[in-house]
Amino acid sequence: MEKHPQSKLTNQTTQRDNKNDFDHSNFLSPTKQADQNDQLKKPPLRRKNKYRPAIVAVCSSLGFVVLNSAPTILVKYLNEYLNIVFPWFTVMLLTGGWPINMFFFFVRYIKRKGRHKLSRWSFGAYAFLGFLDATRMSLMSFGMNYLSGSTYMVLKGTNVIFVVIMTKMFLPNRVLMPLHWLSVVFFAGSMGVLAIGGEEDHTHQTTSKNHFLIGFLCTITSTFVNSVQSIIAEKYFRKLKKNHRSFTRASELASFNGLFSFIFASILPFAVGEHQQWIRTFSSQSFHNKHKIFILACLGILVSSQPSYLFKFSLTDFISAFYVAILNMIRRLLVVILCVLLYNESLGWSKIVSIILMMIGFVMYLHASRKVKKNRQQESPKKATEIQPLLAKTTPTNKNI
């Protein structure tokens, strides 16, 4: 039988294709060939270190605890061993380390080639937060200088009272459990016990009855201002787009917050007239024998106070605010122990009871916050499963299209 003419034609074309068969992959266009050469020149990718996040978290946590503990210990050293009690001078030291944060911010800014932009609105917000921070630092400075270090640290733990109240007033979407309010009761009891037995500190070298009252009220007021500042910052920064890395955002907030707080704080000593006491003290013969130690202590406060905000904001973004709260409590207990050991501060019944009540309230507060977070995580998958059937009903099928 003769083959069909169409089959002959197909056989001829297949034979011709087999003869002319060759590897076309070796004949690339000039652009593709250049891309291939660039890929060959590139060094092999480095392996990601799986322990790197843990190392960063541990180092940041240690830096946070050390830098936040140093200012109180160094200020008490100036009070106890150098007999220097200048609250407004202390404010300038606490806010004067902003150039360190600004250096890190500009390094990140140059590295990102100017892609990170600062709007006028955020600049004004930083100025307002800096004013609040200068107010808080001024009040906190009187507490540092007029109270013993252990008493001051125990009182600083009462900021949970104002945080819960301010959250209820200005963040109504936040869920507060009964344990949150019960922790407020324990913190208030801790503050009351410390106020009743506060006369234990009156025998202290730098603490008189009037100074104890001023320091006590200033410390409580500073915790209130701190809670207001945190609520405002949370409401504002929640609106910002997180289009850049956390360290850039943390360095920006820490540097500009410190800059404006230093500007406001540097006006106060000269307005009050404390600078005249500086001149008399620093020009005395007794001061010249210990001026080197004084300079080292001041440098320690400058280097530790403002840069601690970098670790605080970075840990809040990198891990969580819950973790930062735990580190804060560890830091307070560490400062209490060091002040008792280094400066022979009294640890009477009122301070011990106050610390116990503070710890109980803190554990309740953390447990309640953890429970709220778990409930929120459990509710989000339920909402997703409820939304999917609705989307299936509303989404048009191919037939409808």
- pLDDT tens per residue across span 94-114: 988 888 888 888 887 777 665
pLDDT for position 244? 46
Question: Contact at 8 Å (CB) between 116 and 322?
Answer: no
Q: How far apart are CA 201 and CA 148, in angstroms?
A: 7
* Residue environment code for 169-188, b if the CB has 16+ CB neighbours within 10 A, otherwise e: eeeeeeebbebbeebbebbe
- Over residues 112-130, the mean pLDDT reads 70
> What confidence score (pLDDT) does residue 400 get?
43
Q: How confident is the model at residue 202 (pLDDT cuts 50, 70, 90)?
A: very low
Which residues have a Cβ under 8 Å from the Cβ of 261 and sit 6 or more positions away? 95, 98, 130, 131, 133, 134, 137
Token pair for residue 82? 């150098």
Q: By percentage, how much of the chain surpasses pLDDT 90?
A: 10
Q: Which of 338, 304, 360 is nearest to 152 (CA)?
A: 338
Is residue 321 over pLDDT 50?
yes
User: Would the pLDDT of 73 be above 90?
Assistant: yes
d(CA 57, CA 244): 19
CA-based nearest residue to 73, from 299, 344, 339: 339
Distance of CA 207 to the CA centre of its chain: 32
SS3 content of the chain, % helix, strand, coil (to 5): 80, 0, 20
- Residues with Cβ within 8 Å of residue 281, at least 6 apart in sequence: 84, 86, 287
Average pLDDT on 139-162 reads 87
How many CA within 13 A on the CB side of residue 314?
Answer: 23
> Please, are residues 158 and 193 in contact by the beta-carbon 8 Å criterion?
no
Residue 397 lies in a domain: no
21: in domain? no
- Residue 82: predicted pLDDT: 85
- Asked whether residue 376 carries a pLDDT value surpassing 50, the answer given is yes
Handedness of CA 64, 65, 70, 71 (dihedral sign): positive
Does the pLDDT value for residue 24 go beyond 60? no
Sign of the dihedral through C-alpha 242, 247, 252, 257: positive
Place of tokens 């930083």: 126
Q: What is the pLDDT of residue 221?
A: 92
Q: What is the mean pLDDT of residues 360-376?
A: 86
* Sign of the CA dihedral running 312, 317, 321, 327: negative
Its domain, for residue 200, covers 71-373
Rounded CA separation 141/88 (Å): 7
Whole-model pTM above 0.85? Answer: no
Residue 307 lies in a domain: yes
State the DSSP code for 81: T
**Among all chains, which residue has been given the structure tokens 């020009």?**
283
Q: Looking at the domain assignment, is residue 107 inside a domain?
A: yes
Q: Is residue 389 part of a domain?
A: no
Instruction: Taking residues 281-308, report their average pLDDT.
Output: 87
The candidate with the shortest Cα–Cα distance to 236, out of 129, 105, 160, is 129
- Token reading at 380: 């989000």
What's the CA gap between 63 and 311, in Å, rounded? 7
In a domain, 308, yes or no: yes
Average pLDDT in the chain: 76
Between 381 and 55, residue with greater pLDDT: 55
Q: Is residue 294 part of a domain?
A: yes
| 15: pLDDT strictly greater than 60 | no
User: What is the C-alpha to C-alpha distance for residues 244 and 105, in angstroms, rounded to an integer?
Assistant: 12
For residues 347 and 196, what is the distance between their CA atoms, to the nearest angstrom? Answer: 14
The pLDDT of residue 258: 84
The full length of the chain comes to 401
Of the candidates 285, 295, 274, 167, the residue with the CA atom closest to the CA atom of residue 228 = 167
Question: What's the mean pLDDT in 156-173?
Answer: 82
Count of domains in the chain?
1
Residue 297 lies in a domain: yes
Q: How confident is the model at residue 297 (pLDDT cuts 50, 70, 90)?
A: very high
CA 265, chain centre distance (Å): 21
State the pLDDT confidence band at 398, using cuts at 50, 70 and 90: very low
d(CA 82, CA 208): 18
